[in-house]
Amino acid sequence: MPFDDDDEAVAIANDSIYGLGGGVFSNDIGRAERIASRVKTGTVWIDDLTMSESEPKITCRPAQISPNGDGVNDTAALRLRIPGKCSLTVEVLDAAGTVVSTLEKDRELQSAALELEWAALVDGKPVPAGEYTARVTFTGEREGAVKGGITVVDLPPWPEVKYEAEPFFPIGAWFEGAPSMNKGGDTPEAARKYYDTCFSDMAAHGLNAIAVPNCPEHLWETLLQAAQDHGIRVCLEVAPLVGLVSQSEPVTETDATARVKAVVDKIGKYDSLLRYQIRDEPFDQMLPNWKLVQRILAALDPKHPAFSCFCSDGALGTLASQATLSEAVFDIYPLRAGDKPPTIGGFQDLLDRFKRASAGNPMWIVLQTFECPPPSWRYPTAEALRCMTYLSLAAGVQGAFFFIHQYMPDYLHGLTDPLTGQAQPLYETVSQLAKELQTLAPLLLSAKPGAPQGHVMGTVRVGCLQTADGKPLYILAN
C-alpha cells in the first residue's frame, strides 16, 4: 500500500483491528526505530519477522539468566512456534542431559505459538550455574524436536535503584559533541580549544548544562574537563552503553556489567558529569536492556543516573511504570516549516501527554530552537519559545534544554556558529530565559504539585504548585 510520508505510513498501520505484532523494514535504522515506536502493536520487529516462519522454532530470551530474585534477568522466556496441529512436550535439560524442569507435557494444540517462562528453580531453589537446553518435542501433523540454549550464572543480586544525585535544575542546550561536525579539530588539543570557545560562550549566556551526543570516546575526558573549567554540567552520551541498549537481543548481565564498569571507571570521577546518556529516543523494544544498564549504573555510580530523552510518550510511560527514574526527559519539536506564526503547533497537547507518561517523576524538557534544511522544521519565534518555556514550567517541569546549540550549515541550524561567532537572534531570547530560570530554579526545585494542576482560565494555562513551606505557587502562561 503506497504512502507519501512516515506519518501516513503509521496512520495506515494503526488503522486496523489487529495489533498483536507488526514489522518495519528500512535501510535507515534510525527512521525504522522512530516509526516502530509509533506503531500500536504488542510487538514490533525491525527488518525481521522470524516468528512468522513456517519452520518449527524456539527462541530463549535472554540467553543468560541469574535466578537470584533481584528482578534482573531472573527468568527466561521461551517463545516457540510449531505450525499445524500437534502434541508437544517442553523440557529443560542440564548439561548431562537430565531433565530438570518440565514446562508442558503432551499438550494438544491446533497450532503451537506459545510463550512460556522458565524460572530456573527446582523445589524453590535456583538450579546450579551452567549450560541448559530447552527442548520441544512434538508429534502430529509434524514430528520432531527443536532446541534452544540457556546459560545460568550465579551472580549476586543488584540492589534496588536508589540515587544519590544532588538536586539540579538544568538550564542547558543540546550540544553536538564531535567537533568535526562543526568543522572543528578532532585531536584532544584542537577539541579543547573548540570546547573552550563553546562553553565560555554558553556560560556567558546563562546556560549551566549540556546534553552531548556523538562525542568520540577519545574526547570524553577532554570535553568533561573543559566543561568543569567553565561550570557546565554534562549529560554525556556514552557509545558503549548506547550499543548495549540498542542491541536487538537481550543483553547479558556479565557483558553489561563489564562495559558499565569500564565507563564508570573512566569518567565517573568528573564533577562535571551530570548523567550518563545511554540512548537517545529509545523505543519500547529497547526498554529491557535500558533497565538492565540503568540498574547496574545505579549500583556502581549512584551519583550519576542513567539518562535518555524520549520522543514517544508511549515508550516513556512504559518505562516510568516499570522503573524508578531520576527524571523523565522528553523532547517536543512542534513547529514545521509550513506552520506560520503565531502558533506553537500541538505543543500543549504533547506536553500534557508527556506529563501523564512521566507518572510523577521529575520532568526535564527539550525545547525546539532549530531549523532543519531542507525546510522541515523552522525556528520558533521569540514569543513562541517564551510561551513553550513557561507552559512547561506551569506543567511542573524542573529543567530545560534548548535543541540545538551549534549552527551546522550542512546538518542542523542551531543557535550559534562557534567558529564565526555568528548567533541567531533567538539566542538572545534563550539567554534572557536562562536568566529568568536561574532566578526561579531554587523555588521550582523545591515545589510540589498543587491542586488543581494545569487548569485553564480562558486562553491562560495555570500551573498550581506548592512551595516547601506549604504556600501556593501559581505559574500563568498563554
Whether the CB-CB separation of 260 and 296 falls below 8 Å is answered with yes
Closest CA to 185 of 194, 196, 176: 194
Query: Across the strands, what pairs with 30?
Result: none
Q: pLDDT tens-digit profile of 289-312? A: 999 999 999 999 999 999 999 999
The residue ranges of DSSP E strands in 35-93, in sequence order, are 43-46, 57-61, 64-65, 76-82, 86-93
Region 444-453: mean pLDDT is 80
Q: pLDDT tens-digit profile of 392-443? A: 999 999 999 999 999 988 889 999 998 888 999 999 999 999 999 999 999 9
Terminal Cα distance for the chain, rounded: 42
Query: SS3 of 273, please?
Result: strand
> Which of 53 and 206 is assigned the larger pLDDT?
206
- pLDDT of the residue at 18: 60
Q: Show the CA angle centred on residue 188, arms to residues 183 and 192, nearest 5°.
A: 70
Q: What are phi and psi of 323, to 5 degrees?
A: -140, 155
Cα 187 to its chain centre, rounded Å, is 30
Closest CA to 209 of 217, 218, 196, 199: 199
- pLDDT of the residue at 457: 55
pLDDT confidence band for 39 (50 / 70 / 90): confident
Region 273-282: mean pLDDT is 97
- pLDDT of the residue at 454: 57
Whether the CB-CB separation of 320 and 353 falls below 8 Å is answered with no
- pLDDT of the residue at 141: 84
pLDDT at 10 over 80: no
Q: How many residues would you count in the chain?
A: 478
Cα 141 to its chain centre, rounded Å, is 45
Give me the sheet containing 76-82, strands edge to edge: 57-61, 76-82, 112-118
State pTM to two decimals.
0.84
Closest CA to 361 of 400, 319, 332: 319
> Which of 444 and 45 is assigned the larger pLDDT?
444
Cell 551519583 found at: 303
Region 111-128: mean pLDDT is 90
Query: Across the strands, what pairs with 148?
Result: 134
pLDDT confidence band for 477 (50 / 70 / 90): confident
Round to whole Å and give the CA distance between 150 and 176.
41
Region 92-111: mean pLDDT is 93
Mean pLDDT of the chain: 90
pLDDT at 474 over 90: no
Q: pLDDT tens-digit profile of 154-199? A: 999 999 999 999 999 999 999 999 999 888 889 999 999 999 999 9
Q: What are phi and psi of 120, to 5 degrees?
A: 55, 40
Closest CA to 176 of 203, 195, 200, 161: 195
Whether the CB-CB separation of 309 and 330 falls below 8 Å is answered with yes
- pLDDT of the residue at 96: 97
- pLDDT of the residue at 51: 45
**DSSP code of residue 407:** B
pLDDT at 458 over 70: no
> Which of 390 and 23 is assigned the larger pLDDT?
390
pLDDT at 391 over 70: yes
Query: H or E stretch including 448?
Result: strand 448-449
Write the CB contacts of 288 (distance below 8 Å, at least 6 apart in sequence): 250
Region 75-101: mean pLDDT is 93
> Which of 61 and 468 is assigned the larger pLDDT?
61
Distances (CA, A) of 95 to 73, 134, 303, 311: 21, 11, 42, 45
Candidate from 202-206, 253-257, 384-388, 471-475 with smallest mean pLDDT: 471-475
pLDDT at 20 over 80: no
pLDDT at 230 over 60: yes
Region 116-128: mean pLDDT is 96
What are 36's three cell numbers? 516502530
The residue ranges of DSSP E strands in 141-185, in sequence order, are 144-152, 171-174
Query: SS3 of 469, please?
Result: coil
Write the CB contacts of 212 (distance below 8 Å, at least 6 apart in sequence): 175, 176, 177, 223, 234, 235, 236, 237, 277
Beta-carbon neighbour count of residue 143 at 10 Å? 11
Region 88-112: mean pLDDT is 92
DSSP state string for 129-152: SEEEEEEEEEEESS-EEEEEEEEE
Whether the CB-CB separation of 299 and 338 falls below 8 Å is answered with no
pLDDT confidence band for 49 (50 / 70 / 90): low
Q: pLDDT tens-digit profile of 331-354? A: 999 999 888 888 899 999 999 999
Region 110-131: mean pLDDT is 91
- pLDDT of the residue at 476: 84
pLDDT confidence band for 276 (50 / 70 / 90): very high
Query: H or E stretch including 12?
Result: helix 6-14
Query: H or E stretch including 473?
Result: strand 472-477
Question: β-strands 121-122, 125-126: how paired?
Answer: antiparallel
Distances (CA, A) of 15 to 10, 45, 346, 372: 9, 18, 21, 30
- pLDDT of the residue at 459: 65
